[in-house]
């Protein structure tokens, strides 16, 4: 089984076919960065048309049963998520609405301070806000995964401890391996994994040791060391693949509507766009390279299978359905 914890590609029939060539059974797809609720609904509509046009390649994913169906029919199950809480605007009632539409992940921040928490680019991290705590509990209730991939340290640790259900960092790498601003420090990864959550490793070059020149051996050894430190059952792949996107899109991802200036993020003024992908992972057809590389580190077959997809499968099975707990979420303390 192969499951990718996050992608933001410029989707096309070509990429859908590459998903199948790479044996990708399920993928978490970003459908909102800075969009408001109505704009996000339009993105759901766009995907519905793709499901109609390519029913032999992709299908909508709502739960793990859909992964089973996709595997049995040679398709890829597509699960939706937001990299920003902008689709719920300032209305906690929209959490249940977006889940009913098909959203299964929502980041509490995208780099900046939000109404819910602090992003990883802010100088001061105040942690979860009052609204953030209420929204996390509502996300717990309906079955919307708390994703802290672009959040600051304190906010992430508080989210892991406050959430009644395990949370995720869907796409990042350890900060001590590659000290990019958005990579995660040991205390953060421990807070997520020790509370039952998942950590997805990214192949986005700005978050790799050596960036585009990172070797497959270095990447897989990093995962093997993380398995020793945090437990292999909490680890997966979240490539953050942005295939075929123009550089104008990466500027929009970073800037949105909050500034008139270009935010270069992890890039530089001389190279502000998408960096070249490492040679061993150009697109979805290359998941096999990671699998081979993980085996070469000495991880056993069960551990490799877990990281390649089984761990995400288990996490999805425990996370997407409404809570069966009888006590009311969000009562606060």
Residue by residue, DSSP assigns 89-113 as: TT-TTHHHHHHHHTEEEEES-SSS-
Q: Over range 121-139, report the average pLDDT.
A: 97
pLDDT at residue 272 tops 80: no
Backbone angles phi, psi at 178, to 5 degrees: -140, 105
Q: Over range 167-189, report the average pLDDT.
A: 97
Terminal-residue alpha carbon distance, the chain: 41
Distance CA 130, CA 5 (A): 28
Sign of CA dihedral 125, 179, 176, 2: positive
pLDDT at residue 179 tops 70: yes
Name the band, by pLDDT with cuts 50, 70 and 90, for residue 75: very high
* C-alpha distance from residue 4 to each of 14, 130, 188, 238 (Å): 18, 32, 21, 5
- The CATH architecture annotation of domain 3-319 reads Alpha-Beta Barrel (3.20)
The secondary structure element, H or E, covering residue 303 is helix 301-305
Cβ burial, residue 261 (10 Å; 0-12/13-18/19+): exposed
* C-alpha distance from residue 328 to each of 38, 56, 64 (Å): 29, 42, 26
Name the band, by pLDDT with cuts 50, 70 and 90, for residue 269: low
Report pLDDT for 297. 98
Distance CA 195, CA 161 (A): 7
Question: Residue 251 region, left (φ>0) first, then alpha (ψ -120 to 50), else beta?
Answer: alpha
Report pLDDT for 223. 98
Report pLDDT for 328. 47
Name the band, by pLDDT with cuts 50, 70 and 90, for residue 271: low
- In a 13 Å sphere around the CA of 10, the CA atoms on its Cβ side amount to 9
What is the average pLDDT value for the chain, to the nearest integer? 95
Distance CA 77, CA 247 (A): 28
Name the band, by pLDDT with cuts 50, 70 and 90, for residue 319: very high
- Look up the pTM and report it: 0.94
């Amino acid at each position: 089984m192969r499951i990718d914890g996050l992608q933001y590609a410029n989707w096309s029939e070509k990429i859908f076919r590459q998903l199948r060539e790479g044996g990708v059974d399920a993928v978490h797809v970003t459908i909102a960065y800075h969009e408001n609720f109505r704009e996000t609904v339009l993105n759901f509509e766009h995907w519905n048309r793709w499901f109609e046009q390519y029913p032999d390649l992709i299908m909508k994913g709502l739960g793990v049963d859909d992964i089973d169906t996709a595997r049995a029919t040679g398709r890829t199950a597509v699960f939706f998520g937001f990299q920003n809480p902008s689709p719920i605007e300032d209305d906690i009632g929209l959490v249940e609405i977006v889940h009913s539409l098909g959203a299964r992940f929502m980041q509490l921040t995208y780099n900046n301070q939000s109404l819910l928490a602090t992003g990883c680019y802010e100088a001061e991290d105040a942690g979860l806000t009052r609204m953030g705590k209420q929204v996390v509990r509502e996300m717990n209730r309906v079955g919307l995964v708390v994703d802290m991939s672009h959040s600051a340290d304190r906010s992430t640790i508080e989210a892991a401890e406050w959430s009644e259900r395990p949370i995720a960092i869907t796409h990042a790498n350890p900060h001590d391996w590659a000290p990019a601003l958005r990579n995660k420090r040991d205390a953060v990864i421990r807070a997520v994994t020790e509370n039952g959550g998942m950590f997805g490793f990214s192949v986005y070059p700005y978050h790799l040791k050596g960036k585009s020149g990172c070797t497959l051996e270095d990447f897989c050894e990093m995962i093997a060391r993380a398995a020793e430190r945090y437990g292999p059952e909490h680890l997966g792949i979240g490539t953050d693949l942005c295939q075929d996107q123009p550089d104008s899109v990466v500027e929009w991802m970073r800037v949105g509507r909050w500034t008139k200036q270009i935010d270069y993020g992890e890039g530089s003024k001389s190279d502000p766009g998408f960096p070249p992908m490492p040679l061993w992972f150009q697109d979805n057809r290359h998941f096999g390279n990671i699998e081979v590389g993980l085996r070469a580190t000495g991880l056993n077959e069960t551990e490799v299978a877990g990281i390649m997809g089984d761990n995400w499968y288990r996490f999805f099975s425990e996370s997407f359905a409404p809570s069966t707990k009888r006590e009311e979420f969000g009562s606060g303390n």
